[in-house]
Amino acid sequence: MDEREALSRIAASLPDAGDDAAVVGSTVITTDMLHDRTDFPAGTTRYTAGWRAVGASLSDVAAMGADATAAVAVYADVEFDPATFEAFIDGAVDVCESVGARYVGGDLDQHTEFTTATTAIGETDAPVRRSGARPGETVCVTGTLGRSAAALELFEAEERLERANELFRFPPRVEAGRTLTAHATAMMDSSDGLARSLHQLAAASDVGVEIDRPAVPIDPAVDDVTDTPEDRWRAGTRFGEDFELVCTIPETALETAIDRCPVDLTRIGSVVPADRGVSVDGDPLPDRGYTHGDERA
Amino acid sequence: MDEREALSRIAASLPDAGDDAAVVGSTVITTDMLHDRTDFPAGTTRYTAGWRAVGASLSDVAAMGADATAAVAVYADVEFDPATFEAFIDGAVDVCESVGARYVGGDLDQHTEFTTATTAIGETDAPVRRSGARPGETVCVTGTLGRSAAALELFEAEERLERANELFRFPPRVEAGRTLTAHATAMMDSSDGLARSLHQLAAASDVGVEIDRPAVPIDPAVDDVTDTPEDRWRAGTRFGEDFELVCTIPETALETAIDRCPVDLTRIGSVVPADRGVSVDGDPLPDRGYTHGDERA
């Protein structure tokens, strides 16, 4: 049983799990753990780690269409160093402030490797779940995909580390998420990669999805680190951890949604009946992506 | 810089940190990390681990006088085993249900040792902080102290493990905390031990505390595992992780508070001016206890 199967079992037994965040009254809550070995390649600053870890939870709040109100984090390290700890807190505070939320502290621990567990909460009276997509609607994505994949290439090559850190500090799409609640029928973030996200959304909504490959907005940073169109496509759609929003919007609402969304919103395909599966340019799109908790090989 | 100093620095820079939970509007939120090496002695079942880890966060919510609404947890293990995972979830669900909260899922991760990070949220319009105690008031504690110390002795002796697990599964004092909001001027939980908790409460309120040693309710389980009065006292007051509530209540409100509190509420001393420090039977009470994140030597 891998993480996805396990999460399915949790979802089956707990009515509130299985979306980007759990809904408790008008509050949404989500939690994540990230650690050195799997999530922070050598060269990642602690400021970036704080931003990215807390940002990942804020992204889940955004994916529910909620207003992010606060975040907390547990910070655990092998040895406690005040300077790196403060850099982490600075990153956590700054990413919260960037979306109008408050970083309100947390817990300290000692661990065998640098580990952080972050939790964010938000408020909404109308959470957007993964399950509301209907055939005939459009499939859209905010911003561009592949920033994290591009950053990882730079980290691994030990090149342009400042740029790599910048790419790793993604903007959580809280404002976009709030705007899209008025238009989107289903929404989630792309933290597992576009391909896997589309499969998850399709499964939750019991629909299929047809993607138009040329329409998928791949970040220009990906061009700098890939040589072939196939590498570029894979970096943009499979690597994940980009924390963009993937949503479905009725045709009639699309123009207004694009106008109002504070970041680029791109139509990348259409919702189709479930029996047509998830495809790109007519070929099946494999359900492959980043499984959180796996080590990057 | 140890954890306490680091937390002081966080508290100084973040207005919401430094209490048992952070207050965001009418919501309180708290997060903790526990792991195998430091928090779960050999013999602790995963059911007990789930109960205890989530219970620790619920206890922080209780210490604010809030109504616990929900909890989430990250579950990380060296190898994923469905049966132990489900036992953990069962414990998490059961401790939530015991206080009327909902366990709403979380995240899975892989780690170098079994690690869990739990977060609980609650609601209150009148949070009880650590800072409201005034000289002349009474100092009280719920329940009995030393259950966890007694459990640890059993775990270490590899004796009566079922009883040890039972002692480890403490009841979070959510209902008591809600009742005490009407009476208490300051409140916190005893997770760092009674001695350290009293020092923290005294410092936050800028007061001193005089404790009457015979009045401190030590759990009968401690008698089974200690030989001398000094060992008994140390187990009850220094070890901590008992998750009882320590609070201050004006003399005039004490009788009503005791009547209404759903668990035993015991007066153990009085609040005095700050220059008289923290003492027990006239002698200084050392600020010693359990520092979270330290390994148990």
ipTM score here? 0.89
Which of the pair, B5 or B261, is modelled with greater confidence?
B261
Strand B115-123, strand A102-110: pairing: unpaired
Residue with tokens 């055939």: A135
Looking at residues B179-192, what average pLDDT do you find?
Answer: 96
Helix axes B229-237, B147-157, angle to 10 degrees: 110
Q: What is the pLDDT of residue A3?
A: 60
pLDDT single digits (tens) A162-205: 999 999 999 999 999 999 999 999 999 999 999 999 999 999 99
Chain B contact present for A8, CB below 8 A: no
Beta-carbon separation of B1 and A80 below 8 A: yes
Strand pairing partners for A265?
A142
A238 — pLDDT class (breaks 50, 70, 90): confident
Helix axes B194-205, B229-237, angle to 10 degrees: 50
Which of the pair, B85 or B1, is modelled with greater confidence?
B85
Q: What is the pLDDT of residue B6?
A: 64
Q: What is the pLDDT of residue B9?
A: 60
Q: Which residues does chain B have within 8 Å of residue A2's beta carbon, measured at their own beta carbons? A: 80
CATH topology of domain B138-284: Phosphoribosyl-aminoimidazole Synthetase; Chain A, domain 2 (3.90.650)
Chain B contact present for A295, CB below 8 A: yes
Beta-carbon separation of B29 and A73 below 8 A: no
User: What is the three-class DSSP state of B222?
Assistant: helix
Identity (one letter) of the amino acid at B228? Answer: T
Chain B contact present for A87, CB below 8 A: no
Beta-carbon separation of B105 and A72 below 8 A: no
Q: Which of B102, B108, B115 lies closest to A7 in CB terms?
A: B108
Instruction: Say if residue B39 carries a ligand binding annotation.
Output: yes
- Asked whether the predicted pLDDT for residue B12 surpasses 80, the reply is no
Q: Which residues does chain A have within 8 Å of residue B114's beta carbon, measured at their own beta carbons? A: none
Find, in chain B, the residue whose alpha carbon is nearest to that of A14: B104
Looking at residues B202-225, what average pLDDT do you find?
Answer: 96
Chain B contact present for A101, CB below 8 A: no
Beta-carbon separation of A38 and B110 below 8 A: yes
Q: Which residues does chain B have within 8 Å of residue A105's beta carbon, measured at their own beta carbons? A: 10-11, 14, 16-18, 22
Strand pairing partners for A76?
A109, A115
**Structural domain boundaries of chain A?**
21-123, 138-284
A17 — pLDDT class (breaks 50, 70, 90): low
Chain A contact present for B94, CB below 8 A: no
Strand A278-280, strand A207-211: pairing: parallel
Cα–Cα nearest to A105, from B14, B123, B54, B32: B14
Q: What is the pLDDT of residue A107?
A: 87
Give B125 to chain A, closest Cα distance, Å: 16
3-state secondary structure string across chain A: CCHHHHHHHHHHHCCCCCCCCEEECCEEEEEEEEEHHHHCCCCCCHHHHHHHHHHHHHHHHHHCCCEEEEEEEEEEECCCCHHHHHHHHHHHHHHHHHCCCEEEEEEEEECCCCEEEEEEEEECCCCCCCCCCCCCCEEEEECCECHHHHHHHHHHHCCCHHHHHHHHCCCCCHHHHHHHCCCCCEEEECCCCHHHHHHHHHHHHCEEEEECHHHCCECHHHHHHCCCHHHHHHHHHCCCCCCCEEEEECHHHHHHHHHHCCCCEEEEEEEEEHHHCEEECCEECCCCCCCCCCCCC
- Asked whether the predicted pLDDT for residue B296 surpasses 50, the reply is no
Q: What is the pLDDT of residue A6?
A: 63
Which CATH superfamily, name and number, covers A21-123?
PurM-like, N-terminal domain (3.30.1330.10)
Helices (H), chain B: 3-13, 36-39, 46-63, 82-98, 147-157, 161-168, 174-180, 194-205, 220-225, 229-237, 251-260
pLDDT single digits (tens) A205-230: 999 999 999 999 999 999 999 999 99
Q: What is the pLDDT of residue B289?
A: 75
Best to test chain B binding among A3, A107, A108 (most B CBs inside 10 Å): A107
Best to test chain A binding among B31, B35, B84, B114 (most A CBs inside 10 Å): B31
Looking at residues B210-238, what average pLDDT do you find?
Answer: 94
The encoded tokens of residue A40 equal 């922070």
d(CA B84, CA B86): 5
d(CA A35, CA A113): 7
Chain A contact present for B295, CB below 8 A: yes
Mean model confidence pLDDT for chain B: 92
- Asked whether the predicted pLDDT for residue A12 surpasses 70, the reply is no
Beta-carbon separation of A22 and B105 below 8 A: yes
User: What is the three-class DSSP state of B130?
Assistant: coil
Q: What is the CA radius of gyration of chain A?
A: 18
Q: Which of B104, B108, B293 lies closest to A16 in CB terms?
A: B104
Q: What is the pLDDT of residue A272?
A: 98
Share of chain B above pLDDT 90, in %: 83
**Phi and psi at residue B123, to the nearest 5°:** -125, 135
Give me the torsion for CA of B271, B272, B276, B280, rounded to 10°.
-40
Share of chain A above pLDDT 90, in %: 84
A1 — pLDDT class (breaks 50, 70, 90): low
Beta-carbon separation of A103 and B14 below 8 A: yes
Best to test chain A binding among B2, B37, B72 (most A CBs inside 10 Å): B72
The encoded tokens of residue A158 equal 């030990």
User: What is the three-class DSSP state of B153?
Assistant: helix
Sequence-separated (6 or more) residues with CB below 8 Å from residue A202? A133, A208, A209, A274, A277, A278
Beta-carbon separation of A74 and B106 below 8 A: no
Cα–Cα nearest to B151, from B170, B136, B135, B137: B170
Best to test chain A binding among B33, B61, B75 (most A CBs inside 10 Å): B33
Burial B199-232 (b: 16+ CB within 10 A, else e): bbbbebbebbbbbebeebbbbebbeebbeeeeeb
Q: Which residues does chain B have within 8 Å of residue A8's beta carbon, measured at their own beta carbons? A: none
Residues 15-34 of A with CB under 8 A from B: 16-18, 22-25, 27, 29-33
A292 — pLDDT class (breaks 50, 70, 90): very low
Q: Which of B31, B105, B117 lies closest to A14 in CB terms?
A: B105
Q: What is the pLDDT of residue A241?
A: 87
Strand B186-189, strand B138-142: pairing: unpaired
d(CA A9, CA A11): 5
Q: What is the pLDDT of residue B92?
A: 97
Best to test chain B binding among A61, A64, A96, A108 (most B CBs inside 10 Å): A108
User: What is the three-class DSSP state of B43?
Assistant: coil
Mean model confidence pLDDT for chain A: 92
pLDDT single digits (tens) A73-89: 999 999 989 899 999 99
Instruction: Say if residue B287 carries a ligand binding annotation.
Output: no
Strand pairing partners for A140?
A247, A267
Q: What is the pLDDT of residue A296?
A: 34
Q: What is the CATH number assigned to the segment(s) B3-123? A: 3.30.1330.10
Residue A263 neighbours by CB distance under 10 Å: 15
- Asked whether the predicted pLDDT for residue B157 surpasses 90, the reply is yes
Which of the pair, B8 or A43, is modelled with greater confidence?
A43
Residues 108-137 of A with CB under 8 A from B: 108-113, 115, 117, 119, 121
- The whole-angstrom distance between residue B25's C-alpha and the CA centroid of its chain comes to 23
The encoded tokens of residue B11 equal 């508290």
pLDDT single digits (tens) B17-67: 568 999 999 999 999 999 998 899 999 999 999 999 999 999 999 999 999
Beta-carbon separation of B33 and A107 below 8 A: yes
Residue B27 sits at the vertex; the CA angle it makes with A108 and B250, to the nearest 5 degrees, is: 90
Q: What is the pLDDT of residue A297?
A: 26
Q: What is the pLDDT of residue B240?
A: 80
pLDDT single digits (tens) A101-140: 999 988 888 888 999 999 999 999 999 999 999 999 999 9
Q: What is the pLDDT of residue B162?
A: 97
